[in-house]
Amino acid sequence: MQTDSLSPSPNTVSPVPLNNPSAPRFGTVIPNRIFVGGIDFKTNENDLRKFFSQYGCVKEVKIVNDRAGVSKGLVK
């Protein structure tokens, strides 16, 4: 049985216009960065830093908030 693998296209463009011109393009791989979704809304950046530090050096932790400042439940 043969399976086709999808390879990322270097010309991938975000389907949604980005308001931040300094943001990476959709599909861009950024070394040593992870995205974590579905975190508890009560989790803070210090909690995440402490948790992930057991696996290596953590340079930056950023919880994404909505306009009202409420966590969206994801970390970038």
pLDDT in tens, 18-45: 566 666 677 777 777 888 888 888 888 9
* Nearest-angstrom CA–CA distance, 69 and 46: 17
What is the span of the domain harbouring residue 38?
32-64
Instruction: Give the 3-state secondary structure of residue 63.
Output: strand
Burial class (CB in 10 A: 0-12, 13-18, 19+), 13: exposed
Return the amino acid letter for 59: K
The number of distinct structural domains making up the chain is: 1
pTM above 0.75, yes or no: no
Q: Which helix (H) or strand (E) holds 64?
A: strand 63-65
- 62-71 burial, b at 16+ Cβ within 10 Å, e below that, comes to ebeeeeeeeb
Residue 27 lies in a domain: no
Residue 26 lies in a domain: no
Residue 60 pLDDT greater than 80, yes or no = yes
Residue 70 pLDDT greater than 80, yes or no = no
